[in-house]
Structure 1
Amino acid sequence: MIEVFKTNVQEESQCKIIIAKLLEHFPNSSINFDLEDCDKILRIHSVSISNKKIIELLTALGYSCEVLD
């Protein structure tokens, strides 16, 4: 399962912090950002994904995050 999210993350250093936090909740997932994209894409590939939890985690860290259709 792959989910794609639109975020407002700007820096590579922010990506590393967010990925580490997401991996705590979704171990064995493949997580990456595409900061070159205008939507600052967060892509998560995992067996099970909770969109609600991912959005909650990023919001708690101070970032916006929404599912990209």
Structure 2
Amino acid sequence: MKTNEQLNTTSTIVEIFKTNVGSQQLANKIVNDLNQLYPDYIINFDLEDCDKVLRIESDNSIHISRIIDYGNSNNIQIELIDY
């Protein structure tokens, strides 16, 4: 008897943000702060990129406006990159 295999339909959401973060120390602080607020997110920086990219990955939703608000309240530019 032939059966259909079920596919794993879990999709990952990734959002990319442009920042003005200039040091690894500040990037580490931001990652730690955001991990406290959103423990399910996978968060990292690419400070070598010209946009000082903040990358957030989640299996659920990503609260874009809350990420931007975090930046605003900490005097950090965090702007969603449309791709």
Shared fold (TM-score, shorter chain, > 0.5):
yes
- Structure 1 stretches of at least 4 aligned residues deviating more than 3 Å after TM superposition: none
Q: Which has the higher contact order (CA 8 A, sep 6+)?
A: 1
Question: How many aligned residue pairs are there?
Answer: 69
Larger helix share, 1 or 2? 1
Tell whether 2:67 aligns with 1:54: yes
Task: Name the % identity.
Answer: 42
Instruction: Look up the SS of the partner of 1:48 in the other structure.
Output: coil
* 1:16 equivalenced with 2:28 (yes/no): yes
Q: Structure 1 CA distance, aligned partners of 2:67 and 2:20? A: 14
Which residue matches 1:28?
A: 40
**Structure 1 gap ranges (5+):** none
| Cα distance in 2 for residues equivalent to 1:16 and 1:41 | 13
RMSD over aligned CA atoms reads 0.8
Indicate conservation of the 8 Å contact 1:26/1:49, yes or no: no
Gaps in structure 2 of 5+ consecutive residues:
1-12
Inter-partner Cα distance in structure 2 for 1:22 and 1:59:
14
| Structure of greater Rg | 2
TM-score, scaled to structure 2: 0.79
Q: TM-score, normalised by structure 1?
A: 0.94
